[in-house]
């Protein structure tokens, strides 16, 4: 299998809380709760490791609460190459209501030291030449300018491996300027980047093609319960996932991208690659945490995932609805 480097600049301890519909301003009872180290690159790395790859994790990590992260990395066989910085990595609260709505309460990150970017580049210099793919994912900590993200992408591109970006807001806008190999916005993040509403698949596809025309080969648009649109240089595909009970959507996008990168590096054809990645993402939303490739019914979920060409799709009304 492949050796993959993921970079997380703003890790977090995620406290996920399952709850009935929230009554604001009142006392609410909770169901299950779950806390674990997270951050998009860490989540991606965990899924890729479960899929059989060798995974190296890097980025910035608060030294004052690094313990839970270090235990997770050791337990799951993830190579820890994070740069420690003073302070705590943030704590996020994810409120998952029974109807599937998730409310995020994201905490404040550590302050990025002035030398953090140079220290990280020094750490990565010994890693980027020995990887089959690199993923930079997640938000930016305080003091890390969006332009520095573009610089980081360009630095990683020197190693020759494809560099994927999963970011939003100013980080996505700045990162796109560095022309990564692939990006994975959700439909809301894509609309924010485009600066206009994208109410249907056609509008989303048009915005995605703008990104391709700028020099980005792969654009993966996650659309929540409506599936995934993958624009790639070979052919564009639309996936519709099976209907499953939703507990939390927090790690679904990370699981999707991990599954797609796995398929690409494993030489799967595009149809199978997207089918497996979408099914794995559907498996993920049924519980807290990242997807389980070894779930008992994963093959059934794959069989129930429908992948068709886009725009030559048989899904009636999908192009304009």
59-69 tens-digit pLDDT:
999 999 999 99
Whether the predicted pLDDT of 111 surpasses 80: yes
Residue 4 confidence class, pLDDT cut points 50, 70, 90: very high
Please give the average per-residue pLDDT across 295-317, as a whole number: 84
- What confidence score (pLDDT) does residue 313 get? 52
For residues 82 and 105, is the Cβ–Cβ distance under 8 A?
no
Catalytic residues: 254
Rounded to whole angstroms, the Cα distance separating 160 from 82 reads 21
183-209 tens-digit pLDDT:
999 999 999 999 999 999 999 999 999
Mean pLDDT of the chain: 94
Whether the predicted pLDDT of 319 surpasses 60: no
Helix 252-265 to helix 270-284 angle (10° resolution) is 150
- What confidence score (pLDDT) does residue 321 get? 40
- What confidence score (pLDDT) does residue 71 get? 98
User: Which whole-number Å values give the CA distances from 144 to 81, 182, 184, 226, in the listed order?
Assistant: 19, 22, 21, 34
Please give the average per-residue pLDDT across 38-60, as a whole number: 98
Lowest mean pLDDT among 110-119, 121-130, 246-255: 246-255
Domains of the chain plus CATH, in order, are 3-309 (3.40.1190.20)
119-129 tens-digit pLDDT:
999 999 999 99
Residue 246 confidence class, pLDDT cut points 50, 70, 90: confident
Please give the average per-residue pLDDT across 205-223, as a whole number: 97
Whether the predicted pLDDT of 317 surpasses 50: no
- What confidence score (pLDDT) does residue 23 get? 87
- What confidence score (pLDDT) does residue 320 get? 41
Whether the predicted pLDDT of 179 surpasses 90: yes
Q: Cis check for the bond before 311: say yes or no (omega within 30 of 0).
A: yes
């Amino acid at each position: 299998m492949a050796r993959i480097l993921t970079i997380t600049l703003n890790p977090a301890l995620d406290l996920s809380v399952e709850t009935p519909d929230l009554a604001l301003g009142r006392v609410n009872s909770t169901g299950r709760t779950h806390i674990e180290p997270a951050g998009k690159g860490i989540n991606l790395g965990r899924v890729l490791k479960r899929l059989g790859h060798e995974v190296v994790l890097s980025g910035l990590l608060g030294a004052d609460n690094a313990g839970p992260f270090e235990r997770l990395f050791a337990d799951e066989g993830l190579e820890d190459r994070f740069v420690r910085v003073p302070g705590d990595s943030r704590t996020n609260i994810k409120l998952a209501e029974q109807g599937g709505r998730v409310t995020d309460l994201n905490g404040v990150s550590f302050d990025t030291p002035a030398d953090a970017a140079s220290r990280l580049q020094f750490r990565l210099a010994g890693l980027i030449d020995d990887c089959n793919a690199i993923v930079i994912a997640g938000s930016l900590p305080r003091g890390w300018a969006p332009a520095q993200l573009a610089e980081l992408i360009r630095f990683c591109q020197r190693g020759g491996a494809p560099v994927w970006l999963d970011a939003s807001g100013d980080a996505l806008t700045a990162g796109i300027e560095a022309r990564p190999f692939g990006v994975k916005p959700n439909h809301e993040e894509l609309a924010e980047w485009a600066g206009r509403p994208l109410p249907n698949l056609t509008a989303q596809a048009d915005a995605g093609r703008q990104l391709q025309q700028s020099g980005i080969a792969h654009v993966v648009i996650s659309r929540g319960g409506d599936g995934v649109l993958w624009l790639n240089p070979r052919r564009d595909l639309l996936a519709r996932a099976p209907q499953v009970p939703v507990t939390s959507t927090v790690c679904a996008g990370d699981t999707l991208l991990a599954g797609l990168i796995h398929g690409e590096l494993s030489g799967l054809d595009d149809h199978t690659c997207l089918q497996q990645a979408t099914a794995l993402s559907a498996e993920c939303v049924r519980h807290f945490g990242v997807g389980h490739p070894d779930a008992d019914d994963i093959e059934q979920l794959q069989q129930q995932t429908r992948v068709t060409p886009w725009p030559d799709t048989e899904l009636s009304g999908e192009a304009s609805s």
